[in-house]
Structure 1
Amino acid sequence: MDTENPKQRWVQLLLGLVVMMTISSPQYVWTLFVKPFQTTTGASLAAVQVTFTLVIVLQTFFSPVQGWLIDRFSPKLMIAIGAALSGLGWIAASKAESLFALYATYGLLCGLGTGIVYVGIVGLMVRWFPDRRGFAVGVVAAGYGMGAMITTFPITDLMAATDFRHTLLVFGCILGVVGVLAALGLRAPQAGELPNLPEAKVLSAAQDTAPRAMLRTPLFWLMFAMMAMMSTGGLMVVANFASFAREFGVADAIVFGFAALPFALTFDRITNGLTRPFFGWVSDNIGRENTMAIAFTLEALAICLLLYYRQNAYAFALLSGVVFFAWGEIFSLFPSILTDTFGTKHATTNYGFLYMAQGVGSLLGGPVAALIHDSAGNWVPVFSIAIGLDLLTAILAYFVLKPMRRNWLGAGAAARPDVALAKPAMV
């Protein structure tokens, strides 16, 4: 084995990106299959949409178990199994005739598969890139955020030419096979394999912390609460995007030659993907908490402007992209700061626990926002809550999380003089 090959980690990053792209379609292309499954099962929209909820819940709330399995067994094996389950979910769903079959195939298999892959890939990248952790996690997270852009139009065309069952079967096979093949090239770095880096460039924790010990620290729960608040506030906007576009009267307006709503959705996917490596790279250079304070404040400002100019179609379309740009970076910043703080040894399992905060956000963001809207009769209170959560999290990042992490890492360095000089991610 060549332990001095600096290109190996970039190969791993590329493979991780490919696998993440193959598992993004079950979540981001689901909307194309809702109506066909309604027709097939004869079920209500709400009943069919339970499938999507299952995907998110299984992906996030089972992530600690998935992370433990990846740490316990081979990352390559588990991530390949996850990619296979995700593809198999579509293949099996192509035969589904009932709601139960739909839940057990698309919901269960795709949810578990995407969760295994997501936490597994993130866990590997934080190990391969101790000096560029935010950037590397941002790249693979962007793959999950933007991967469906490649498949959306081919899936739409194949559904028009054949039917949704044939489309699920074909793309389930393609995505499953590509994901498994790419996963088989993944592995964890071995001793002496990473390039020789100046100690000051390694964004490392003073000591590795096991999940049980991590869960007993107020520091972890502060991170969990912050990620849950950002997920909830962001998803209040994301999950109801089409609804408030129609209520504002801009959904069908023409901007740059396109209808405002589909233009905004496409633009948002791009910015939501680009923000992850961008802010990850920024945080590698100016510090995680500083970057969080800037990004979260930017999102609050963007939502304020979006609300103020809500009846201007051009402003709506462009500002929605800024909102997504300032929100999507949570998927690079939080796993990076978690590993900076609690170490790399248990990184995958530890992130599995933090990733549950995204599940909390998915359960609260969409339904709670809809209830608030129905109660108030408009979207202003929903936007106001999202703005408040953004600003509160920005303040917590800079004035609470930053000193708490400094104290935690300082205490760890004092306990282990051999690593006392390691740079603690610019706190």
Structure 2
Amino acid sequence: MTRRAVFAGWWVVAGAFLCMLTGYAVAYSFAAFFGALESEFGARRGEISLVFSISAFLYFLLGFPAGLIADRTGPRPVVVGGLLLIALGLVAAAQADTLWQVYAGYGLGVGLGIGFSYVPSVAAVQRWFVRRRGTASGIAVAGIGVGTLVGAPVAHWLIAAIGWRHTYLVLAAVAVAGALLSGWLVRPGPERYGLTPDGDPPLPSGASTMPAGLGLGEAVRSGPFWSIYAGALLMSFGLFVPFVHLAPYASDVGLGEGFGVLLIVLLGVGSTVGRFLFASVTGWIGRRLSFALMYVGAAAMLVLWSQSTSAPALVAFALLFGAFYGGFVAIAPSLAADYFGGRALGSVIGALYSGVAFGALLGSPVAGYAYDFFQSYTGAILAGAALCLVSFAITLAMPEPARWLAARRPGP
């Protein structure tokens, strides 16, 4: 009796998982560096927040050109190059004498690196699966949750032991290792290898069962594209505020910096669980409605945060907000594939994520400057919740993918 080989698509999932774990462990370790950078450079919270926001702006904005390149060259060279850029940026940041050099090193290096590695890796997974797309995508993007889970506490421990500069160098070495491993595993679509999505038997003609889908221009001219774009853009203004400001918020309410780092870990725990939990829910109620519920759940959690000063309340916020954030990230690529197919999926996902870039750039610094001015985060947090509710309404108004695609087909 011969053993059946593991379907190659699962190795692509593993590569995408490692890629996202590496990139986002670095990105979401930022909260652990907040106090060290504030002390080193004598900077205000709005100025420190901008370091993270520059990187987040770039990695969402650059998903579009990265997707275009990967659609033409395959994902492997873009993924490897992106993670190596993260390493170079961290090495540069470790040598910084002024805050603007941290902007240039961490902000540009991490931003460019994730920008060129994330979308190609997540789009590669969508091409290898159709029936099991939700599960495969959920596993792959769980790398972001695990990265959030381990990045901040490991960085916090290293900073205490060897200082923030040497910690950046350690993370640079991790990024190089991630580039080698994920680059070895991530590969182009199954048709390149004479295979079909989900490991199904090939058709007699040898053709792929992956639907051709829409080109980028067709997708951009469609209503669902702009509905997803607008919803993600509005949500993003509040989405990244906890990843930057939750740790200093915990210190402000007397719970200490160590507890603040623990809250970032709990965001990662919730995010990891949410990616699997909500990816499974999509099979019962559909991806569009599931996606809409991520917005309303995030809004409710932001309202909870705005009223929370106790440890139990903040723990509940971190776990639940992380879960809804994780569900949002897990469902988005598969929802895009449902509407637009696999023909130009990398560039379509990249174009959709470009809207998130502007919220990521502005949300955390605005919250930081609001705190500097009002000595309170409450107004900024509640504004983020309100925008999430608008995103919820936009998504509810979208047609279901199957109904929308059926309406596009010419009649008999």
The TM-score bracket by the shorter chain reads 0.7 to 0.9
Where does structure 2 lack aligned partners over 5 or more consecutive residues? Answer: 204-208
Partner of 2:200: 196
Contact 2:147 2:268 in 1 (8 A): no
Equivalent position to 1:251, from 241, 250, 255: 255
Partner of 1:241: 246
Partner of 1:255: none
Q: Secondary structure at the match of 1:135?
A: helix
Amino acid at match of 1:14: A
Partner of 2:285: 286
CA deviation vs aligned residue, 1:341-366 (integer Å, no higher than 9, x gap): 11112111111111112212213422
Partner of 1:410: 406
Partner of 2:358: 360
CA–CA distance in structure 1, aligned partners of residues 314 and 154 of structure 2: 28
Contact 2:127 2:190 in 1 (8 A): no
CA–CA distance in structure 2, aligned partners of residues 335 and 213 of structure 1: 17
Partner of 1:63: 63
Equivalent position to 1:322, from 320, 323, 329: 320
Amino acid at match of 2:74: S
Q: How does 1:166-315 map to 2 (within 5 A)?
A: 166-191=166-191, 192-194=195-197, 195-196=199-200, 208-236=213-241, 238-242=243-247, 244-245=249-250, 249=253, 251-252=255-256, 261-307=260-306, 310-315=308-313
Q: Secondary structure at the match of 2:200?
A: coil
Q: Is 169-178 or 66-75 further displaced after alignment?
A: 169-178
Partner of 1:421: none
CA deviation vs aligned residue, 1:277-312 (integer Å, no higher than 9, x gap): 32123214431122123333333444445556x244
CA–CA distance in structure 1, aligned partners of residues 292 and 169 of structure 2: 44
Q: How does 1:23-62 map to 2 (within 5 A)?
A: 23-34=23-34, 46-47=46-47, 49-62=49-62
CA deviation vs aligned residue, 1:201-231 (integer Å, no higher than 9, x gap): xxx9975222222222232111111111222
Q: Is 127-136 or 260-269 further displaced after alignment?
A: 260-269
TM-score by length of 1: 0.81
Larger proportion of helix: 2
Contact 1:275 1:328 in 2 (8 A): yes
Distance 1:383 1:46, change over 3 A: closer
TM-score by length of 2: 0.84
Where does structure 1 lack aligned partners over 5 or more consecutive residues? Answer: 253-257, 418-427
CA–CA distance in structure 2, aligned partners of residues 102 and 59 of structure 1: 16
Contact 2:219 2:340 in 1 (8 A): yes
CA–CA distance in structure 1, aligned partners of residues 10 and 245 of structure 2: 37
Contact 1:282 1:291 in 2 (8 A): yes
Task: Using the TM superposition, give the Cα deviation of residue 105 of structure 1 relative to its aligned residue in structure 2, in angstroms.
Answer: 2.6
Distance 1:136 1:38, change over 3 A: same
Contact 1:79 1:117 in 2 (8 A): yes
The count of corresponding residues between Structure 1 and Structure 2 is 400
- C-alpha RMSD of matched pairs (Å): 3.3
Contact 1:83 1:179 in 2 (8 A): yes
Distance 1:165 1:197, change over 3 A: same
Partner of 2:74: 74
Equivalent position to 1:346, from 341, 344, 347: 344
Partner of 2:206: none
CA–CA distance in structure 2, aligned partners of residues 304 and 45 of structure 1: 22
Contact 2:47 2:365 in 1 (8 A): no
% same residue: 25
Distance 1:340 1:266, change over 3 A: same
Task: Using the TM superposition, give the Cα deviation of residue 156 of structure 1 relative to its aligned residue in structure 2, in angstroms.
Answer: 3.9
Distance 1:163 1:293, change over 3 A: closer
Q: Is 381-390 or 174-183 further displaced after alignment?
A: 381-390
Q: How does 1:69-218 map to 2 (within 5 A)?
A: 69-191=69-191, 192-194=195-197, 195-196=199-200, 208-218=213-223
Amino acid at match of 2:255: A
CA deviation vs aligned residue, 1:27-73 (integer Å, no higher than 9, x gap): 11224445555666676665554432221121111221111111121
Distance 1:378 1:160, change over 3 A: closer
Distance 1:30 1:265, change over 3 A: closer
